[in-house]
Structure 1
Amino acid sequence: MLTPINTKQFKKDLKKYEHKKEVLKELKIVMMYILKEEPLPVIYKDHTLTGNWMGRRECHVKNDVLLIYKIFPESREALFERIGSHSELLKM
């Protein structure tokens, strides 16, 4: 099992969802898949990112709620960087 690491920004982003129980429940499920190193079900649309986010992955926790994370296999860690909408996270 991977060790979770939450960035300060992830913790700040998460506060926006503290009253959205459905999102938090789904986020917990997604994070457990990641930490257990199990493939995410197709419904979460997990994929790699490019550009400024190269080396990271993104999945859809809910419709327009995205999770950006990075796996460090050598240190057995999962870095959870951001959670938010497309417009919040992927501004170009």
Structure 2
Amino acid sequence: MKYEVQYSKEFRKGLKKLKNDKNSLNLVRNIIKKLANNEILESKYKDHKLIGKYAGFRECHIKPDLLLIYKKENNASRGQLPTLILVCIAIGSHSDLF
């Protein structure tokens, strides 16, 4: 099943900083597309669970110092098909996010 993609305000802000970096924007789009299609990311993206402030979220490295923090949710209601949601929380460098 495909995930519906939602973007947080913080993610949109971080994405604006990349507006002049077409290569990074293309990489971000491709990663989000893979995640929305429930594909497993290649090991080079270092996808992993987070702890602490971001417990319950995941992070992947789009580039060595360009990170995407995201969460996959399943909003299932009784008697209805589940709604799968990919929430893009934040994007930026290590120093921007942590």
Q: Is the pair's TM-score, using the shorter chain for normalization, greater than 0.5?
A: yes
2:58 counterpart residue number: 57
**Is 1:86–2:89 an aligned residue pair?**
no
1:19 counterpart residue number: 20
CA distance in 2, matches of 1:27, 1:39: 15
**Is 1:36–2:37 an aligned residue pair?**
yes
CA distance in 1, matches of 2:90, 2:17: 12
Q: Which of structures 1 and 2 has the bigger CA Rg?
A: 2
Percentage of identical aligned residues: 38
TM (normalized to structure 2)?
0.89
Q: How far 1:73 sits from its partner (Å)? A: 2.4
Q: How far 1:42 sits from its partner (Å)? A: 0.6
Moved over 4 A (4+): none
TM (normalized to structure 1)?
0.94
CA distance in 2, matches of 1:83, 1:11: 8
CA RMSD of aligned residues (A): 0.8
1:7 counterpart residue number: 8
The one-character-per-residue Cα deviations of 1:33-89 (angstroms, maximum 9, x if unpaired) are 100001001110000000010000000011100000000023300000100001110
CA distance in 1, matches of 2:63, 2:23: 9
